[in-house]
Amino acid sequence: MRRSVAVRLSALLATGALAAATGLAVSTSTASAATGGVTGYATQNGGTTGGAGGQTVRATTGTAIHQALCSRASSSTPIVIQVEGTINHGNTAKVSGSSCNTAAGVIELKQISNVTIVGVGSGAVFDQLGIHIRESSNIIIQNVTVRNVKKSGSPTSNGGDAIGMESGVRNVWVDHTTLEASGGESEGYDGLFDMKDNTQYVTLSYSILRNSGRGGLIGSSESDRSNGYVTFHHNLYQNIDSRAPLLRGGIAHVYNNHYKSLNESGINSRAGARAKVDNNYFEDSKDVLGTFYTSEAGYWQVSGNIFDNVTWSSRSGDNNPAGPNPTSNTSVSIPYAYTLDAANCVPGVVSQTAGANKGLKVSDGSCTPQNPDPTDPDPTDPDPDPTDPDPTDPPTGTNLSLGAGADGSSKADGTSYGNVRDGNLSTYWSPSGSTGSVSVKWGSATTVSKANIRLASGSGTIGSYRVLNHDTGAVLASGSGSGVIGFAPTSLKKITLEITSASGTPRIAEFETYAS
C-alpha cells in the first residue's frame, strides 16, 4: 500500500531515563485497577477481569514487570502490576520462570492469563518499547502511554507495534491509553494497535492514537479472517494516514470515536469484515469509511455519524469509499448493552476522557464526562489505601479451626502443623524456608467464608499468599500480609494457606477459620 503522506507532528514526550535497578515492589494492597468498567466485546466470552483479586506489585522498570509475571505461582495466577516511570530498552531484560515466557526489549505477555498492567502515580511511559500479547487471555492494559515503537532503525521492538496481539489471544481490554508514533513506515514505525492470527473479544476504549502512518488492523492478510469481535469506542484517532482501523473478516463495533485528520483513509472494512459504525465524529479527513486497496469487499452498518469537512475520492478499481453519502450494506447484531453519546458532542467528551493520565473519566451517554466508580480505587493515586481488612479486628463467631486436624507441605524444625489450630499464640508453624503451606481439615464438609492469619512474635512477614479449597484446588483468595481474609462461603473438608513469598521466615501462630 502507498503511504506517501508524511506525519506532520512529532511525538509529544521526550525520551526519559530511570535509574532503578530492578524497580519491583510488593504492595500491601490487593487489586487496585478500576476493572469494573469493562465494556464492549471484552465483556463477552466469560468477561475480562485481568488480575482482579490477585496480588498487587509496583514496577518501575520493564525487568520488574517481567519479574512480577515470573514470580507468580503459575502462569494463570491473577496479578495487578502498577507501573510508574519510563520503561525502555535499557531497563527491560528477559526474566525466566515457570509462570512466564519473556524477552528483552519488549514487554512480553506470552502464554499467560489474568494480568492487569496499570499506570499509577506520575504516569507510565513505554518509550520505544512495545507490549506484545501472544497466546494469552484475560489481559487489561490501562492508563499507560506507549510511544515511538519501531520495526526498523534503532532500537526496534514488537515488530513496530505499540500494542500487538496474535496467536489465539482472547479477552483483552485496553483502556485510557495513549498510543503514538512520530511518522509512518518510511520512518520505521508500523501499527499502533494490531490484532491477528485468531485474536478475539477485545475492547479499545477511551484511548488516543495519533501521529502514525497506521492506526491498527484486525487480520494480517486477506486470508487471516479468524479475528474479530472487537469494540472501539470513545477513542481519538488524530493525524493517522490509514487503518483506523483496517478490518479483515470478523465483526467490529465502532462508536463514539473522534476522527481528526485521517490523511488517506479511515475505517477500511474488507475481506468480508462487517462493521457497525455508530455516532462517530469524522473531521478534516479523507475517505473515512469504505473498502480500500483490495477487490475483496467488506461491509458496514452506519447510523448517527457526523462528517465534518470530509472529502471523498471517486470509486475506481480497488478504491471503494462509502461516501459521499454512506449507507448501510449489511446489518450487525451487538450482544452487549451500551449507551451512545450524541455524535455532535463526541469531540468534547473524547477530549476530556481519552488518553492516559485523564483520571479514568468515562462518558455516561449524556455527553457528560464522569469520574470512575468511587468503589474503584484510582490507579493514578501513588499510594492507594490497602484493601486488606484490619488484622486487629478478627471475625466474630466460633473459630472452626479449634479441634480440627492440620497438615502441610513442609515445616521447620521445632514447629508443628497442629500449632496453627490450638488457640495458643505462643506456639506456631513455620515452613522450612520462606515458602510452604499449612492446612486445616475436618472429617465432614464445613462451610468457611473467612480466615484470620495471626503471626507469632518474631515472625517474618508474608509477601504473598493464596488460600485454596484443597478439595478442588480452587483459589479462594490471594493477597499479601496477614490478618482477616474474606471469600465467598465455601463448603469444603480442607482449606490450605499457601505462602508463595515472604520476608524472613513466617511464624503462623493461628490459622483461624470462620463461617461468617
The DSSP secondary structure of 406-419, one letter per residue, reads EEES---TT--GGG
User: Which phi-psi region, left, alpha or beta, contains residue 213 (left: φ > 0; alpha: ψ -120 to 50)?
Assistant: alpha
- Chain length of the chain: 516
Query: Active-site residue among 243, 248, 270, 274?
Result: 243
Strands 251-255 and 236-242: what pairing?
Answer: unpaired
Q: To 5 degrees, how large is the angle CA 400–CA 401–CA 405?
A: 130
CA distance 333 to 276: 8
Q: Is the dihedral of CA 82, 151, 273, 215 positive or negative?
A: positive
Q: What is Dmax (Cα atoms) for the chain? A: 85
The pairing of beta strand 483-503 with beta strand 258-262: unpaired
Question: pLDDT at position 410, please?
Answer: 84
SS3 content of the chain, % helix, strand, coil (to 5): 5, 45, 50
Measured CA to CA in angstroms, residue 204 lies from 234, 265, 432 at distances of 9, 20, 46
Report how far residue 160's alpha carbon sits from residue 147's, in angstroms, rounded to the nearest whole number.
10
507 a catalytic residue: no
**Distance (Å, rounded) from C-alpha 503 to C-alpha 501?**
7
- What pLDDT, on the 0 to 100 scale, is given for residue 374? 55
Q: CA 473, 138, 196 angle in degrees (round to 5)?
A: 135
Cβ–Cβ under 8 Å, residues 70 and 93: no
pLDDT at residue 481, rounded to an integer: 82
Residues pairing with 454 in the sheet? 510
CB 360 within 8 A of CB 372: yes
Tell me how far apart the alpha carbons of residues 89 and 18 are, in angstroms, rounded to a whole number. Answer: 11
Instruction: Give the predicted TM-score (pTM) of the model.
Output: 0.71
Measured CA to CA, the distance from residue 242 to residue 191 in angstroms comes to 10
* Phi, psi (deg, nearest 5) at residue 351: -65, -30
At residue 471, what is the residue type? D
Query: What's residue 287's pLDDT?
Result: 98
CA dihedral over 80, 81, 84, 86, signed as positive or negative = negative
Residues pairing with 170 in the sheet? 137, 200
- Per-residue model confidence as pLDDT tens for the chain (516 residues): 333 334 343 332 222 322 333 456 644 333 233 334 899 999 999 999 999 999 999 999 999 999 999 999 999 999 999 999 999 999 999 999 999 999 999 999 999 999 999 999 989 999 999 999 999 999 999 999 999 999 999 999 999 999 999 999 999 999 999 999 999 999 999 999 999 999 999 999 999 999 999 999 999 999 999 999 999 999 999 999 999 999 999 999 999 999 999 999 999 999 999 999 999 999 999 999 999 999 999 999 999 999 999 999 999 999 999 999 999 999 999 999 999 999 999 999 999 999 999 999 999 889 999 888 654 555 555 544 433 333 334 577 899 999 899 999 889 888 999 999 998 888 999 998 878 899 999 999 999 999 999 998 888 888 788 898 998 888 888 877 888 888 888 999 999 998 888 778 899 999 999 997
Instruction: Record the cell numbers describing residue 159, joined without a space.
Output: 515488530
pLDDT of residue 37: 86
Contacts of 192 (CB under 8 A, 6+ apart): 161, 162, 163, 179, 180, 181, 209, 212, 214, 215, 216
Rg over alpha carbons for the chain, rounded to the nearest Å, is 25
